[in-house]
Chains A and B, each alone.
Chain A
């Protein structure tokens, strides 16, 4: 079979440009698959090892202030393996040359010995000396963002007192791999810090002698966290316990899991699109190849090659294409996987990255591709095998054309002969035309999901900061305060308006389902914080019921009118029941809302506010911010502008890379489909076109016949591509839903315009190549050969 193998290679070489296009599309499919799978596997493996080696806890709880003796009770809960009692204190950080508010969390370290759980990985420097008062270990994210190295100094305000620290070490904690401020939607490495100091120093600074306010537990293997939480909550309740959570609900872990889920979606959607396009291309190219080789197939059969041998011959051709695609895909996937891994490492604080490219993933990628390829080529192969040998000795019957309906509708003089040829060609092979349109549309769809992320995030920011949360600054108080606190703030020069809100941690129950959330009381007719319905219209706050984030209502499975049990986790710890008044649209977090006075009545603690929202004179924002920051009773101050700035800063880079990759890949698909369509049209009709040239048609007129077909298909594909893009965006969005955020399936006009542009450019590139080919059409050559 050596000569047959030679034929195989030469035939492939003959259609090399088309093979290349298929290899690129197929390679892209495998690459995106391997990239996502490798990144996912690597991150999962890295997380697992980090958690294991640095003793990430299974259960977490906080209290207001519990005596250390309570620890013994906790240790005694059956199934508890280890207990870490810590003091955690909110802090504000002052940095030279950085005006924005910086908040942070200060966590205690044992003064002697090492942390039993959630141990630190020291990236640089050292741990504090035993009993040291002024030595601090800084979380890596913040340290990197500000270029702080061991030996640097830092001023922190803890419980209203300013203190100087020396940064002795830079560390990473399994608790803060995804370092994000509670309540924020996006990490802000510049404006949020985590740091560790010796326990005695923190006890003194925070007034926590002999007490703790945070506890982490690890469990004996096989112990369900829920059983331990059941026992833990009553122990901590007298000490201001806020309800324990399992690892699944731990903030950093939860964010990581949500993002891993996103990768998983990516690992499915992209490869499916790429591989179906590749299968389609293979089908088209091999269908064409086999059609032109009818007589060769027949001769082989006449001389005694069986269907099996001939099937294998063409299957091997497809196999080689797949092999090349797989090689390209594996190389590309490994490269992109490293790239993406590094990108993720700039978001996640892992001490290292265990890069995993599992042989099984590679094998399954190749197997899936082979399957897609064979299913693509199968039809053509079957045709080759079915071809009766005698039949093949006759040249293929001239294809049957018909006048198209369109020609009857349009005035004759509108349609010249070349245009008629275009229309009839398309109508003769409607399925093929449809498949081409779909292929281009899929390319456009891939591009859409590349660009859509930016749209969605813009939309989220817009909804959050322009419509819902319109205050410039927000102040959170250490303890709920009376209305007089608002008057004090209003008196600060430059403050234009102040509103008070009350936020209280609650457990909501509906039947067997329960969720820990914040119940926010907002003043009726608030100008600064508004809750919006699905059409972004402000909703009136109910006085006798709750508004729930739509996603929260879904978790609780409640509708308007259903009752929800509210259990207050702070202060008086009241229990009451309220009906659901409706749902509101929020993309970030989950919350419950009601009117402020109604909430205060329900809580029975008098007129209280826990937060103040401020509109301020923009020129005085910084001064006001620092003024507020130093006031006793103020836990933290947040700035809307800083939040928006951070968002764009953090997201911009990753979006850029992602968009670049998606654009590149989509361009490849579009070009692959369009180029193959054009080349095949040229191949199928080379004789016809050469005859026209002989009859005196110009090159331009001949090229028009080919390009006109391409242009019609492209134009038809563009709106279909919009639909495909919208559908794919929906699929992605559905995979991204979590308590933390929901991404809206919002697509901007600009995205539609960009996808259209890329498709048109790919079409133009294919058209130019066809024109170039037509210019070089060798008339004698084409007419001499028999097809």
Chain B
């Protein structure tokens, strides 16, 4: 039995915009295991990003508990959440969110400089196939290249957890595959617990487990008996 990394019980998140209350999560129970590759599927607005944000310590739940190993994230203050993110989590976002004034290498270094056991920035970029574009500024890279820089940035710190919110959302099939290959490569080589949000059911084939979200609830969990390699996926 693999070690439990994340454990969530009765997670609820309510957004208040003016008079309206939006229930983004309505009682989510979830366990994630070390080294697992998990895909989160669900329609738009189902609460995927919200769940990911809570797991990554970017946001706190309105009710319920969420633990990362021996850290209680639901009651942590901002400072300890910051420390948690710094020490354990790597993020990849849909819109890359690179710092435009820094080169590819520097974008990675921003993160490795505050990490404990980072990979050299050049090595991380080489892992995503960008070893030859170290000194390019984001504006000089294509969307897929930018997303790979973002992945390099996330993996360079060698995090225990990698949280990816639609990392291939803005990419064509071929580039998307390269990004996914990079992710699964890291998952295998470093044993990083990886959660990937996607709208693309095809990607689900490469996961250990697929979790379906709908209307703020988990409506189903499948375990893939036979994982497919990223290269075999296309859309």
Chain A residues in the interface with B (C-beta under 8 A): 1-4, 6-7, 10-11, 14, 295-296, 298-307, 388-390, 393, 785-786
Contact = CB atoms under 8 A, between A and B. Distances in A.
- Tell me what chain A mostly uses at the interface: helix, strand, loop, or mixed: helix
Contacts, number: 88
Given A302-B58, A304-B87, A393 B97 contact: yes
Interface in B89-119: 89-91, 93, 95, 97-102, 106-107, 109-111, 113-115
B33 to A, nearest CB: 23
Given A2-B113, A6-B102, A389-B58, A303 B97 contact: no
Contacts of B101: 6-7, 10-11, 14
Interface string B125-164: 0000000000000010000000000000100010000000
Please tell me the size bucket of the interface on B.
35 or more
Given A14-B101, A295-B95, A390-B59, A3 B87 contact: no
B69 interface: no
B109 A3 contact: yes
Interface string B173-184: 000000000000
Interface stretch (B38-46, B78-86, B193-201, B224-232): B78-86
Given A304-B87, A390-B59, A393-B97, A3 B114 contact: no
Contacts of A307: 78, 82
Given A2-B109, A301-B85, 17 more contacts: A3-B107, A7-B110, A296-B97, A296-B99, A300-B110, A302-B58, A302-B89, A303-B110, A303-B114, A303-B153, A304-B114, A304-B115, A306-B82, A390-B53, A393-B58, A393-B93, A786-B95
A520 B114 CA distance: 84
B83 A304 contact: yes
B110 A4 contact: yes
A393 B91 CA distance: 11
A296 B110 CA distance: 11
B106 A6 contact: yes
A6 B108 CA distance: 13
A393 B93 CA distance: 8
25 contacts: A3-B106, A3-B107, A6-B101, A7-B99, A7-B101, A14-B101, A295-B95, A296-B99, A299-B91, A299-B93, A299-B97, A302-B85, A302-B89, A303-B86, A303-B153, A304-B83, A304-B85, A304-B87, A304-B111, A305-B82, A306-B79, A389-B85, A393-B97, A785-B100, A785-B139
B56 interface: yes
A11 B100 CA distance: 9
B58 A390 contact: yes
Contacts of A786: 95
A4 B157 CA distance: 16
Nearest to A393: B93
Q: What are the 7 tightest A-B residue pairs by CB atom distance, in nearest-first order? A: A304-B86, A10-B101, A390-B58, A390-B59, A3-B109, A3-B106, A390-B53
For A6, A299, A301, the residue with the greatest tally of chain B CB atoms inside 10 Å of its CB is: A299
Contacts of B113: 1-4
Contact of B82 (A2, A298, A301): A301
For A305, A307, A390, the residue with the greatest tally of chain B CB atoms inside 10 Å of its CB is: A390
Interface of B: 49, 53, 56, 58-59, 78-79, 82-87, 89-91, 93, 95, 97-102, 106-107, 109-111, 113-115, 139, 153, 157, 165
A304 B157 CA distance: 11
Contacts of A298: 97
Contacts of B109: 2-3
A2 to B, nearest CB: 7
Nearest to A10: B101
Contacts of B56: 302
A240 B78 CA distance: 86
B106 to A, nearest CB: 4
For A3, A14, A298, the residue with the greatest tally of chain B CB atoms inside 10 Å of its CB is: A3
Contacts of A301: 58, 82, 85
A306 B78 CA distance: 9
Contacts of A3: 102, 106-107, 109-110, 113
Contacts of B84: 304
A7 B97 contact: no
A295 B99 CA distance: 9
A311 to B, nearest CB: 13
For B87, B90, B111, the residue with the greatest tally of chain A CB atoms inside 10 Å of its CB is: B111
Nearest to A8: B101
A389 B165 CA distance: 14
Nearest to A303: B111
A387 to B, nearest CB: 11
A129 B218 CA distance: 114
Contacts of B165: 393
A213 B201 CA distance: 113
Contacts of A388: 58-59
A746 to B, nearest CB: 53
A302 B157 CA distance: 13
B219 to A, nearest CB: 24
Given A390-B58, A390-B59, A304 B99 contact: no
Contacts of A6: 101-102, 106
B99 A299 contact: yes
A389 B114 CA distance: 17
Nearest to B50: A390
A786 B58 CA distance: 22
